[in-house]
């Protein structure tokens, strides 16, 4: 496997928009064509829109866009802006003579960072669409990563800043990449090294705090959530993409500890933007590696903001 730019995969554009002072934002992925997409949800508290379309039992054969955003369930309003932007350009599925864009969305909980009364909305999402390009997307405190944090097992005041990251690989003709907004109750690791997370006076990790004698202010259910997207040029069915998304959660597990708790709504989409014949296991393995490295990049690129320290200061 060899590292490549995520833009080398082709077939999609990425756009960010933020309400920076409020500590929230959104990231849109616009596909060049109606694109077969799957999803795997492992966390206990997801906030999402139209993800049932991606069930292999549903008749849907593709979607136009995926929106990742802050704002928790309030942020779900933002997808309407993406739909209107696409409708104005005639992109969508023809239903009884009417063009209906298909947009799936997942949100992180960032209402306790910055201002909780300002959330991503339709206008912000339309701005993200206007900004979407084939250039390598910016990482860190941008888009859906604007209000992300990690290590919240003792509350937001003991956490660290996180954000948005990408990473991609190729093996022969096969290309697989990951985009992710990292907003976890757990800590983030680069290999065996804990690089960001809970700032405990006793130096304990999030895992140790939960497993030993947790007595701190328990985070509200769903007040976290890491959301991501796998893109590949492999020709895969919706069912195969759901499996690839499921395998890519291994990347979450290697980089975030603990993960998939009832305090997270961890979700990963997977989209096929090409026609390269490929083994599903190969795609899944590459996806898990790409997701792990995208998570690490998201944390390392995120500067201090909203009163939370980050690793990206001065880099």
- CATH number, domain at 127? 3.60.70.12
* Summary mean pLDDT of the chain: 93
305 domain residue, yes or no: no
Between the CA of residue 229 and those of 17, 66, 79, 232, 272, what are the distances in Å? Answer: 18, 8, 16, 10, 11
Q: How many domains does the chain have?
A: 1
What is the total residue count of the chain?
315
Instruction: Give me the pLDDT at residue 314, please.
Output: 65
279 domain residue, yes or no: yes
Burial degree of 85 (CB within 10 A; 0-12, 13-18, 19+): buried
315 domain residue, yes or no: no
287 domain residue, yes or no: yes
62 domain residue, yes or no: yes
With both helix axes pointing from N to C terminus, report the angle between 280-300 and 238-255 in degrees, rounded to the nearest 10. 40
Within 13 A of 258's CA, how many CA atoms are on the CB side?
Answer: 15
96 domain residue, yes or no: yes
Interval 122-149 mean pLDDT:
97
Top mean pLDDT of 12-16, 216-220, 258-262 is at: 12-16
pLDDT of 216 > 70? The answer is no
Place of tokens 């999803």: 39
Query: Which pLDDT tens digit goes with each residue over 64-74?
Result: 999 999 999 99
Between the CA of residue 31 and those of 1, 37, 160, 199, what are the distances in Å? Answer: 25, 11, 33, 39
Query: Which pLDDT tens digit goes with each residue over 163-176?
Result: 999 999 999 999 99
Query: Which pLDDT tens digit goes with each residue over 267-283?
Result: 999 999 999 999 999 99
307 domain residue, yes or no: no
313 domain residue, yes or no: no
103: nearest Cα among 133, 72, 76, 64 = 64
Rounded to a whole number of angstroms, the distance between the first and last alpha carbons of the chain is 27
Q: How far is it between the farthest Cα atoms of the chain?
A: 63
Where in the sequence is the domain holding 62, given as residue range(s)?
Answer: 2-300
């Amino acid at each position: 496997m060899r590292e490549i730019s995520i833009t080398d995969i082709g077939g999609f554009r990425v756009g960010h928009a933020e309400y920076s002072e409020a500590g929230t934002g959104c990231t849109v992925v616009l596909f060049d064509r109606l694109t077969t997409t799957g999803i795997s949800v492992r966390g206990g508290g997801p906030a999402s829109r139209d993800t049932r379309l991606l069930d292999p039992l549903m008749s849907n054969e593709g979607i136009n866009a995926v929106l990742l955003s802050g704002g928790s369930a309030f942020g779900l309003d933002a997808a309407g802006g993406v739909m209107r932007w696409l409708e104005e350009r005639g992109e969508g599925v023809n239903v009884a003579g009417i063009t209906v864009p298909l947009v799936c969305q997942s949100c992180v909980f960032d209402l306790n960072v910055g201002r909780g009364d300002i959330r991503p909305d339709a206008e912000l999402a339309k701005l993200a669409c206007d900004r979407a390009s084939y250039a390598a997307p910016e990482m860190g405190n941008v888009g859906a990563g604007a209000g992300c944090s990690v290590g919240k097992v003792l509350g937001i005041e003991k956490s660290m800043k996180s954000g948005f990251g990408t990473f991609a690989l190729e093996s022969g003709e096969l290309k697989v990449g990951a985009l992710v907004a990292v907003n976890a109750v757990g800590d983030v690791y680069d290999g065996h090294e804990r690089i960001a997370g809970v700032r405990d006076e006793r130096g304990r990790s999030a895992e140790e705090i939960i497993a030993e004698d947790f007595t701190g202010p328990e985070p509200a259910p769903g007040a976290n959530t890491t959301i991501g997207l796998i893109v590949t040029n492999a020709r895969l069915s919706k069912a195969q993409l759901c499996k690839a998304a499921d395998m890519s959660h291994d990347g979450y597990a290697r980089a975030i500890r603990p993960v998939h708790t009832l305090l997270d709504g961890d979700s990963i989409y997977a989209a096929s933007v090409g026609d390269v014949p490929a083994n599903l296991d190969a795609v899944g393995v590459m996806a898990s590696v790409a997701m792990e490295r995208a998570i690490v990049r998201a944390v390392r690129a995120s500067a201090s903001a909203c009163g939370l320290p980050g690793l990206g200061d001065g880099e």
